[in-house]
């Protein structure tokens, strides 16, 4: 998580490779591929690998610019810090305002897809018809309990699960490719005409880019990484490159496994990896793949919850939100009030939309996940603009037309492709509402910024500090949510209370 470097790692403890692996772990690659690919296929069809290739290219270009900013500080901080430094605090506020919508709804989305997948997996594996509401409440209760108890796990310990997931999935997909899939190996899947056309590819990029959320995590490890000014940029680019190639490989093999002419079946299969496992490896392998999906989803949900709670806690502590949200458990030192509010909001949001608005919880995940990612695309535009303005204004002697002007411009054009896909041709309801919801959110942010700038201008700085301390990536390290400043002000916790 960005801003979570207070977790106790000693200075200079991490190498470039270790910092890179941390970013890879925060992206939760197997979970992203398990649950995001059906939505990519729903838009792009058999051209799903092309949509992922475009997504990879777009994120990598943004990472090139972001790494330039990260090289200027050992503790890179959040998007707010970058944009505020390059442009001004008010623009930095708007950049983080787009992140808030992701904080608020990604948790409910993750609970929903976990519930949908678990319900289907129980029926396939054991023949049990388990209503989705049961696994939904189970994961919500588990995440909330761990949050209140202040349970933590080390970054490196979590990497064990990352390696397990990637190895299992790679074995499965290599088996698919070596067996020729359903209709034979072909490069035609990189042609938009093979799928739903270029418009569908652009829309599919929303979920492709969603799969990379977390790539900036290594930027928070500057103080713990050896030679951070060089190591952190390399770690960021290396993580995006490795995971991007892995994603293209997964989407290609998955498309071949079902066959380019059967992508409607793939898009409707919440547990597509279980389907391919049984077909290409045998039923005996299915539990191993299912475990990989379940453990990854739980870890992802915990990380998203911790990130959201940290932000709510910080805003409550600084008086932007009610100060009751900053109450800390007397023995566990966990912000139980903020955790309760966020957990309750996520449970209500997920259940209401999964049961009454959308036909199933998988649709809830796709809708909220895509909406949050659309907001992130605008954040990437802020980052690209910051790269140009920072070096043009503050380091003119180091300004490079290629690195600081051309690459950010091309990166901006790339992340605008899925935005264009939402405008023309207009997608089917309810996805056609995404641009209007984001515009409404931006308008609320602008009005809020206008009011506090006139009445309480100090709150802009206060919120910026809260954003910087809470970070803007899922906290899959599950570190305790108290910010660095709070750690300095409060006595150290008794180890027996942990």
pLDDT digits (tens, 9 = 90+) for 225-250: 677 777 778 888 998 999 999 999 99
Mind listing the pLDDT tens digit for each residue in 290-342?
Answer: 888 887 788 778 777 877 787 788 778 877 778 899 898 888 778 899 999 99
Q: What share of the chain is helix, strand, coil (3-state, %, to 5)?
A: 80, 0, 20
- Percent of the chain beyond pLDDT 70? 83
Could you tell me the two tokens for 208? 């492709």
Residue 223: predicted pLDDT: 55
Whole-number Å distance between alpha carbons of 454 and 196 = 49
Q: Is the pLDDT of residue 12 over 60?
A: no
Please tell me whether residue 225 adopts helix, strand or coil conformation.
strand
Whole-number Å distance between alpha carbons of 90 and 159 = 37
CB 278, CB 450: distance < 8 Å: no
Q: Which helix (H) or strand (E) segment is 334 a member of?
A: none
CB 217, CB 2: distance < 8 Å: yes
Whole-number Å distance between alpha carbons of 209 and 99 = 14
Whole-number Å distance between alpha carbons of 214 and 473 = 5
Confidence at 23, pLDDT banded by 50, 70, 90: confident
Whole-number Å distance between alpha carbons of 462 and 468 = 10
- What DSSP character marks residue 428? P
Average pLDDT for 359-363: 93
Mind listing the pLDDT tens digit for each residue in 160-169?
Answer: 667 888 888 8
Q: Which helix (H) or strand (E) segment is 336 a member of?
A: helix 336-352
Q: Is the pLDDT of residue 272 over 70?
A: yes
Q: Which domains does the chain have, with CATH numbers?
A: 5-475 (1.20.1740.10)
Residue 478: predicted pLDDT: 36
Average pLDDT, the chain: 82
Range among 62-76, 165-179, 208-222 with highest mean pLDDT value: 165-179
Confidence at 38, pLDDT banded by 50, 70, 90: very high
Average pLDDT for 162-189: 92
Range among 327-331, 396-400, 491-495 with highest mean pLDDT value: 396-400
Residue 496: predicted pLDDT: 43
CA neighbor of 308 nearest in space, from 296, 319, 295, 321? 321
Average pLDDT for 15-23: 75
């Amino acid at each position: 998580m960005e801003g979570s470097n207070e977790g106790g790692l000693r200075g200079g403890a991490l190498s470039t490779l270790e910092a890179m692996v941390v970013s890879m772990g925060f992206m939760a690659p197997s979970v992203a591929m398990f649950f995001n690919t059906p939505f990519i296929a729903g838009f792009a069809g058999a051209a799903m690998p092309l949509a992922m290739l475009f997504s990879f290219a777009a994120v990598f270009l943004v990472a090139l610019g972001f790494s330039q900013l990260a090289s200027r500080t050992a503790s890179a901080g959040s998007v707010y810090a970058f944009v505020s430094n390059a442009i001004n605090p008010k623009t930095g506020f708007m950049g983080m305002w787009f992140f808030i919508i992701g904080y608020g709804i990604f948790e409910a989305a993750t609970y929903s897809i976990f519930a949908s997948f678990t319900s289907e997996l129980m029926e396939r594996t054991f023949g049990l018809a388990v209503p989705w509401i049961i696994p939904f409440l189970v994961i919500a209760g588990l995440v909330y309990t761990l949050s209140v108890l202040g349970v933590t796990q080390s970054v490196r310990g979590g990497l064990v699960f990352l390696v397990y997931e990637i190895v299992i999935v790679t074995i499965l997909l290599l088996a698919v490719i070596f067996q020729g899939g359903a209709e034979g190996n072909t490069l035609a899947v990189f042609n938009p005409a093979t799928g739903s056309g270029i418009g569908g590819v652009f829309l599919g990029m929303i979920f492709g880019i969603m799969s990379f959320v977390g790539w900036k995590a290594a930027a928070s490890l500057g103080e713990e990484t050896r030679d951070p000014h060089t190591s952190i940029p390399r770690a960021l680019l290396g993580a995006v490159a490795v995971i991007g190639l892995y994603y293209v490989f997964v989407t290609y093999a998955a498309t071949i496994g079902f066959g380019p002419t059967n992508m409607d079946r793939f898009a409707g299969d919440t547990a597509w990896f279980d389907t391919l496992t049984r077909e290409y490896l045998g039923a005996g392998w299915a539990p191993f793949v299912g475990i990989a999906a379940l453990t990854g989803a739980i870890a992802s949900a915990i990380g998203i919850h911790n990130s959201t709670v940290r932000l709510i806690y910080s805003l409550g502590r600084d008086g932007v939100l009610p100060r009751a949200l900053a109450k800390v458990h007397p023995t566990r030192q966990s912000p139980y009030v903020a955790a309760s509010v966020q957990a309750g909001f996520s449970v209500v949001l997920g259940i209401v939309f999964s049961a009454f608005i959308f036909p199933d919880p998988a649709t809830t995940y796709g809708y909220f996940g895509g909406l949050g990612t659309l907001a992130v695309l605008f954040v990437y535009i802020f980052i690209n603009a910051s790269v140009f303005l920072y070096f043009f204004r503050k380091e003119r002697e180091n300004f490079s037309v290629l690195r600081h002007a051309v690459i950010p411009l091309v990166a901006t054009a790339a992340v605008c492709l899925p935005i264009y896909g939402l405008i023309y041709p207009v997608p089917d309801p309810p996805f056609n509402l995404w641009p209007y919801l984001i515009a409404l959110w931006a308008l609320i942010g602008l009005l809020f910024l206008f009011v506090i700038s006139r009445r309480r201008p100090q709150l802009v700085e206060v919120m910026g500090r809260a954003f910087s301390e809470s970070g803007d990536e899922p906290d899959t390290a599950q570190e305790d949510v108290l910010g660095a400043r709070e750690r300095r002000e409060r006595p150290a916790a008794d180890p027996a209370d942990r």
